[in-house]
Amino acid sequence: MGRTRAKTRKAKPVTTANTSETVESPSVPALLQKAQALIIQCDYDLAQLFVRRILEREPKNAEAKEMLGVAQLEMGDVDAARETFGTLVPPHPDASSPPPPSAHLYLAQLSDQDPQLALQHYQAAVDILLGQLKGKSRAGNDADPSSDEVELKNHIVRALIGMVEIWMDPSYDLCFDPAAEKNCEDLLNLALQTDPGNTEALQALASVRLSQQRPDEAKQCLEQAWSLWKDLEPDDAKLPSIPTRLSLVKMFLELFLFTHALVVLQGVMAEDDQEVEAWYLEGWCFFLMAEQSRETGKKVDELSWQELAQDARDCLDTCCSLHKGQEHPDTPILEHVQELIGKLEEAGIKPSTDDGVEGEGWEDVEDSDDEDVEMS
């Protein structure tokens, strides 16, 4: 007989309660949700890690690519963002059909050195969005549009306004094109056909009317836009954004509608009293009112020119402090504020003291030895 082999036992793997269970990788939708949350939290580095995990599994995932572009853009890597968004639109071979309109909108904003290319991207986005809107309109109730439909209309109107702004921008040669005026009219007509009574479209139309030296029509547009929301509660979702309201204020000032401007600014500051541009515009408004009062010798809103000038000085001093404290990037605002403060100083308007009592050194225009000091 042959020798019997000794039986050997195979070593059993050491297991624990955890290793007996299969650990599944997070799903792509879960990763997308996490990446989106991180972008909202402004954690762009970590958001990119999650997005790249998605792209490793699904290299053509359009939503992930868009999030990557947004994160790159927010981190200041403009060239990388432009390249990422470019992979989402034709003629790139990986572009979906139709491409996401948001990619075209981002590329339009990143094409500031090439206005024609920017216009092409805006137009592409508008065409896609209008197609989506028609689909929603056929499926839905026109009398009670869905939130998606409202959002689509807003995107279309803003894209059309972006095109108008390019045609009107004096830094581009397009504004001298004979077709510029008609193009702006056509774009704004389409915006108001898409969303009649849209505040931003009406304000853009007012801006065009001002450039055409048609102030009465501009005023009519602005008052119509303002009437749509001026009685809304401060927390109403239909209230326009602060930048939109500040844009309205600027045009009110251009038309010397000072009371209107101050009412709008009061609402903005109730919402955010650290808004640098709001303090600047309020100071500029009071400055213009003081100037008007001084020139006519009459009070404005029951206030003398000195009182209005003091209000202007207080607002401009606050703006200056906030601008420096926030390291605000808008240098032209600070330069204009300092220029206006200098003119108020020349007119004898000093800073208010900490307890709110106006400073010494007032010079009444009638009593001043130097009546030629001008505020403008």
Q: Over 90: is that where the pLDDT of 358 sits?
A: no
- Do residue 123 and residue 170 come from a single domain? yes
CB distance 80 to 68 below 8 Å: no
Instruction: Quick: pLDDT tens for 200-225.
Output: 999 999 999 999 999 999 999 999 99
- Do residue 84 and residue 119 come from a single domain? no
The pLDDT of residue 141 is 57
Share of the chain above pLDDT 70, in %: 86
Residue 31 lies in a domain: yes
Domain that holds residue 163: 100-196
Q: Over 90: is that where the pLDDT of 17 sits?
A: no
Residue 233 lies in a domain: no
CB distance 122 to 163 below 8 Å: yes
Q: Domain ends where: 58, 93, 128?
A: 93
Which among 280, 279, 311 has a CA at the least distance from the CA of 293?
311
Q: How confident is the model at residue 24 (pLDDT cuts 50, 70, 90)?
A: confident
Residue 355 lies in a domain: no
- Do residue 63 and residue 147 come from a single domain? no
The pLDDT of residue 370 is 45
- Do residue 72 and residue 111 come from a single domain? no
- Do residue 160 and residue 110 come from a single domain? yes
More confident residue, 364 or 236: 236
The pLDDT of residue 96 is 87
Provide mean pLDDT across the span 144-165. Answer: 91
Residue 294 lies in a domain: no
- Do residue 68 and residue 105 come from a single domain? no
Q: At what angle do helices 215-227 and 242-254 cross, to 10 degrees?
A: 150
Residue 44 lies in a domain: yes
Secondary structure class of 40 (helix, strand, coil): helix
Instruction: Quick: pLDDT tens for 85-133.
Output: 999 999 999 998 899 999 999 999 999 899 999 999 999 999 999 999 9
Q: Domain ends where: 73, 93, 113?
A: 93
Q: At what angle do helices 258-271 and 276-296 cross, to 10 degrees?
A: 160
H/E element, 313: helix 305-326
- Within 8 A by CB and 6+ apart from 73, the residues are 81, 106, 110
What is d(CA 50, CA 28) in angstroms, rounded to the nearest whole number?
10
Residue 341 lies in a domain: no
- Do residue 117 and residue 186 come from a single domain? yes
Residue 36 lies in a domain: yes
- Within 8 A by CB and 6+ apart from 286, the residues are 308, 309, 311, 312, 315
With a threshold of 0.85, does the pTM exceed it? Answer: no
- Do residue 110 and residue 147 come from a single domain? yes
Distances (CA, A) of 118 to 51, 112, 222: 27, 7, 28
Q: Domain ends where: 156, 172, 196?
A: 196
Instruction: Quick: pLDDT tens for 282-334.
Output: 999 999 999 999 999 999 989 999 999 999 999 999 999 999 999 999 999 99
Return the ∠ at Cα 230 (arms to 228 and 231), rounded to 5°: 100
- Do residue 59 and residue 110 come from a single domain? no
What one-letter code names the amino acid at 178?
P
Average pLDDT of the chain to the nearest whole number: 89
Which among 160, 169, 211 has a CA at the least distance from the CA of 189?
160
11: left (phi over 0), alpha (psi -120 to 50) or beta: beta
- Do residue 89 and residue 113 come from a single domain? no
Share of the chain above pLDDT 90, in %: 79
- Do residue 74 and residue 159 come from a single domain? no
Burial class of residue 25 in the structure, from the number of CB atoms within 10 Å of its CB (0-12 exposed, 13-18 middle, 19+ buried): exposed
CATH of the domain at 83: 1.25.40.10
Domains identified in the chain, total number: 2
- Do residue 83 and residue 109 come from a single domain? no
Residue 305 lies in a domain: no
More confident residue, 168 or 13: 168
